[in-house]
Structure 1
Amino acid sequence: MQNFTARRSLLKKTLAGLGCAAVMLLSPLSVQIAQAAELEKEELKLGFIKLTDMAPLAIAYEKGFFEDEGLYVTLEAQANWKVLLDRVIDGELDGAHMLAGQPLGATIGFGTKADVVTAFSMDLNGNGITMSNAVWEEMKKHVPMADGKPVHPIKADALKPVIEQYKAAGKPFNLGMVFPVSTHNYELRYWLAAGGINPGYYAPAKGDISGTLNADALLSVTPPPQMPSTMEAGTINGYSVGEPWNQQAVFKGIGVPVITDYEIWKNNPEKVLGVSKAWADANPETHKRLVKALIRAGMWLDENDNANRQEAVEILSRPEYVGADAKVIANSMTGTFEYEKGDTRAVPDFNVFFRYNATYPYYSDAIWYLTQMRRWGQVGDAKPDSWYFDVAKRVYLPEVYMSAAAELVKEGKAKAEDFPAASEEGFRAPSNEFIDGLTYDGRKPNEYINQFKIGLKPDSVL
């Protein structure tokens, strides 16, 4: 746990001992801003899971960006994604590093029903899919090779005959993912289905929320830090997770990451800052300041072609943050990724924290998650396109983001060209940079769902 109590007390005592004019002359710009606009809440507790993409929170803390906004923040690691979400909803946490699907899933009532919103996207990419050594040895027989190395991206077509072997032997093929509404679940499902493997359906109307109905591969939840040990024990045959837990499998010699999410969907949105709607409504100035600090953290992480990443690795390796070996974290955070032991390749965009408008909360990002919820049965009935748009606009708050960005520009801490134009409507351009080559247009969700060979159609009912 990180605590600002002592630093907050010192700052308050210092300001109290100065006159108003002296404060304005001697204090940083942040103190001047704090006097210009009322802050509803200055002491905040924010939750996170031990993954490298919690980095914006750690950097905002360590670099004093929270303090610059008059915020005194405690960062607290959480046991798992469900506990994290529940604590945000209950008000025990002011906000948290969340799976992008969590605010959406809560809002539509899949699992816990609650109004959760986001005004900040924390990153792009950052995940991978790892298979056990035994599975990889069988997969490898079906993977194209060049100069003695596998040709990437590796499609799930190579896994299909392995799963068929398991079926013929009467053995289940088990895969881990971190949460039912996680990017990891949807990316794993997307990759499997693109290779002709059915990852199964959810049928909440029938009381079946296992997600394994009609499945060729059985997906289940495992907390991220436990993925390597669970696979090593033989409980699962592979997993989809964020870093550093794919690279950990390489370092431990127990598995091989076969594909990154960058190769499944180039520059996909990953985590968000989630807060309850009630909290956002009660604390608009605090919310905006929180977003400002996190934008600056994202900028720092990506500036000068990732020049600060080695320092970020050292920070994240500390036990209060990710708590993994710095060498393991550096494998992905510094722009490389190791597949088989010794097969290290350049992936400069494996983690993106600011460029490509990574931090802007696009409605089209939200809609993609909703299409996958519908595709796999978490949304149990047909929905018109307007439903997708309405949910996205209930949950994603680009107006808060743009207000924060405008203040940073005014303060000289960012440039206007760093952010989307004021005319931005919240939809990325259509893209076909997916493992299956299909085109996603966020303005046409049902048309998109209808393209898939495996998955529910817009009007399907289980």
Structure 2
Amino acid sequence: MCRRSIFRIFLVTVFFTFISTSLSVHAEIGEPEKDELTFGFIKLTDMAPIAIAYENGYFEDEGLYVTIEAQANWKVLLDGVIDGKLDGAHMLAGQPLAATIGFGTKAHIVTPFSMDLNGNGITVSNEIWKKMKAHIPMEGGKPVHPIKADYLKPVVDEFKQKGEPFKMGMVFPVSTHNYELRYWLAAGGIHPGYYAPHKGDTAGTIDADALLSVTPPPQMPSTLEAGTIYGYCVGEPWNQQAVFKGIGVPVITDYEIWKNNPEKVFGMTKEFTEKYPNTTVRVVKALIRAAKWLDENDNANRPAAVKILSQSNYVGADYEVIANSMTGTFEYEKGDKRAVPDFNVFFRYNATYPYYSDAIWYLTQMRRWGQISEPKSDEWYVETAKDVYKPGIYATAAQELIAEGLMKANEFPNFATESGFKPEQTEFIDNISFDGSKPNAYLEKFDIGLKDETL
């Protein structure tokens, strides 16, 4: 037999071995039980993994044919997932937790995928900024960052003395934005108010120095401009939009409130994940690939991502507005543009892994502000986190990607030893550390906030 024939036989053998291996890998999770899916999102830049998984063909690689639909607000989005109009959605991290424990709408929602870290900011009106600036230390003609709520407190006190309410906006009662805004305010001695759902009080303004209310993200700038609110906490591009329109000043990012804090998640009903397990894993595989693409090569793909997100069917804001934060910078006062390379993180630092400790932090904030009416045991926090966050599904998806050669094992946690709890986290604006295994001890550390009492 000639060398050419031997070589051909070798190539054929290698080819069929590759096909066989590929098929056996896919056979481990099986074909998708449901292949036509509809996903929801809100017009924020952190919905990017869904858009990129769609645009780059990662969903189709998994045999999934996906339709993506923008939703009017977070309640409409959650209701769509619960009633089955949506098969999954870009969600506030607090939404699956709140729904599962019955704060607001009762439904068992789970998350097998965390969508990002950081990505939010707090903006105040020009009028409030002018008042705050008188109290902020300066260096080289620019404010020293991070800007604490300590510098807002004299302004809020002035409003109180005049008998005028100091109003601020956040996007939803169980949003990261609500908890971050409350955290920042309380760290500066400004009480953001309590909820008392057992008394029918869901306004969250009991004992409040600053009154927080819900405003949908795209409406934040216009609501600020109208003077209905004096500041807000929101995701991008709606802080940078205030800068471009000249109507407000972002004073702090959530990265400066809690470094590398968890932000959005991908939510699905527990029923969906149990009825369609193969489909669920394949969705997570596609989203992991999209998250990696967004962060790889030091964010080299971000300009391309910004171009996609600027389309009207996604975020629909100007390229320059979205790029201001997505490409590693953030503009505070107009002209004060600073490097914030980790403002948006989609894959680095195991951003996509659904850590139980992340869930527990959200639950502690729900308890701190009264959304959870009564004290709970540490065990309750852990069990609730495990009811909602599903790292097992994530690990299956990741291991499939590793087996297919699309990802490397060192890009993920060590699944054999991972507990789901991050080491104690210390980089908060108030220097109070968080250990997810000790939620009640954590709550005891705060001067402002509920502990053992019930309102």
Q: Shorter-chain-normalised TM-score: which range?
A: over 0.9
The residue number in structure 2 matching 1:454 is 448
1:36 positional shift: 7.5
For each residue in 1:134-182, what CA deviation from the matched residue of structure 2 results, as whole angstroms up to 9, or x when unmatched? 0000000111100000000000000000001111122110000000000
On the 8 A contact 1:31/1:69 being kept in 2, the answer is: no
1:204 aligns with 2:197: yes
Q: 2:235 & 2:52 partners in 1: Cα distance?
A: 18
Give matches, 1:391-410, under 5 Å: 391-410=384-403
Secondary structure at 2:349 match in 1: coil
The residue number in structure 1 matching 2:323 is 330
CA RMSD of the aligned region, Å? 1.8
Q: 2:426 & 2:122 partners in 1: Cα distance?
A: 21
1:38 positional shift: 2.7
The residue number in structure 1 matching 2:383 is 390
Q: Which amino acid aligns with 1:97?
A: H
For each residue in 1:373-392, what CA deviation from the matched residue of structure 2 results, as whole angstroms up to 9, or x when unmatched? 00000000010000000000
User: What is the aligned counterpart of 2:88 among 77, 83, 95?
Assistant: 95
1:208 positional shift: 0.6
The residue number in structure 2 matching 1:277 is 270
Q: Which amino acid aligns with 1:162?
A: V
The residue number in structure 2 matching 1:365 is 358
The residue number in structure 2 matching 1:6 is none
Q: 2:253 & 2:297 partners in 1: Cα distance?
A: 24
On the 8 A contact 1:47/1:95 being kept in 2, the answer is: yes
The residue number in structure 2 matching 1:125 is 118
Q: 2:20 & 2:35 partners in 1: Cα distance?
A: 17
On the 8 A contact 2:113/2:352 being kept in 1, the answer is: yes
Q: 1:145 & 1:431 partners in 2: Cα distance?
A: 29
On the 8 A contact 1:191/1:264 being kept in 2, the answer is: yes
The residue number in structure 2 matching 1:112 is 105
For each residue in 1:278-297, what CA deviation from the matched residue of structure 2 results, as whole angstroms up to 9, or x when unmatched? 11110100000000000000
Q: 1:350 & 1:455 partners in 2: Cα distance?
A: 28
In structure 2, the gaps of 5 or more residues are 1-14
Q: Which amino acid aligns with 2:447?
A: K
Q: TM-score, normalised by structure 2?
A: 0.95
Secondary structure at 2:350 match in 1: coil
User: What is the aligned counterpart of 1:146 among 90, 114, 139?
Assistant: 139
On the 8 A contact 1:30/1:70 being kept in 2, the answer is: no
The residue number in structure 2 matching 1:287 is 280
On the 8 A contact 1:51/1:242 being kept in 2, the answer is: yes
Q: 1:207 & 1:120 partners in 2: Cα distance?
A: 33
Q: Which amino acid aligns with 1:445?
A: P
1:30 positional shift: 8.7
1:78 positional shift: 0.2
The residue number in structure 2 matching 1:439 is 433
User: What is the aligned counterpart of 2:245 among 231, 247, 252?
Assistant: 252
Identical amino acids, percent of aligned pairs: 72
For each residue in 1:239-295, what CA deviation from the matched residue of structure 2 results, as whole angstroms up to 9, or x when unmatched? 000000000000000000000000000000000000001111101000000000000
Q: 2:241 & 2:27 partners in 1: Cα distance?
A: 43
1:215 positional shift: 0.2
Secondary structure at 1:142 match in 2: coil
Q: Which amino acid aligns with 1:300?
A: W
User: What is the aligned counterpart of 1:39 among 32, 39, 63?
Assistant: 32
On the 8 A contact 1:30/1:68 being kept in 2, the answer is: no
Structure 1 residues 320 and 461, CA, compared in 2 at 3 Å: closer, same or farther? same
Q: 1:264 & 1:126 partners in 2: Cα distance?
A: 11
Q: 1:413 & 1:30 partners in 2: Cα distance?
A: 15
Secondary structure at 1:175 match in 2: strand
Q: 1:254 & 1:30 partners in 2: Cα distance?
A: 56
1:33 positional shift: 3.2
Q: 1:380 & 1:28 partners in 2: Cα distance?
A: 53
Q: 2:23 & 2:308 partners in 1: Cα distance?
A: 24
Structure 1 residues 446 and 32, CA, compared in 2 at 3 Å: closer, same or farther? closer
Q: 1:159 & 1:213 partners in 2: Cα distance?
A: 20
Q: 2:419 & 2:355 partners in 1: Cα distance?
A: 8
Q: Which amino acid aligns with 1:327?
A: E
On the 8 A contact 2:25/2:404 being kept in 1, the answer is: no
Q: Which amino acid aligns with 2:87?
A: D
On the 8 A contact 1:31/1:70 being kept in 2, the answer is: no
On the 8 A contact 1:256/1:340 being kept in 2, the answer is: yes
Secondary structure at 2:110 match in 1: strand
Secondary structure at 1:356 match in 2: helix
Q: Which amino acid aligns with 1:444?
A: K
1:118 positional shift: 0.3
Q: 1:356 & 1:439 partners in 2: Cα distance?
A: 19
In structure 1, the gaps of 5 or more residues are 1-21
For each residue in 1:172-224, what CA deviation from the matched residue of structure 2 results, as whole angstroms up to 9, or x when unmatched? 10000000000000000000000000000000111110000000000000000
Q: Which amino acid aligns with 1:448?
A: Y
Q: Which amino acid aligns with 2:425?
A: S
The residue number in structure 1 matching 2:160 is 167
Q: TM-score, normalised by structure 1?
A: 0.93
The residue number in structure 1 matching 2:69 is 76
Give matches, 1:412-427, under 5 Å: 412-422=405-415, 423-427=417-421
Q: Which amino acid aligns with 1:225?
A: P
Q: Which amino acid aligns with 1:84?
A: L
| Runs of 4 or more consecutive aligned structure 1 residues displaced over 2 Å after TM superposition | 22-36
On the 8 A contact 1:30/1:69 being kept in 2, the answer is: no
* Number of equivalenced pairs: 440
Q: Which amino acid aligns with 1:150?
A: P
User: What is the aligned counterpart of 2:185 among 182, 192, 195?
Assistant: 192
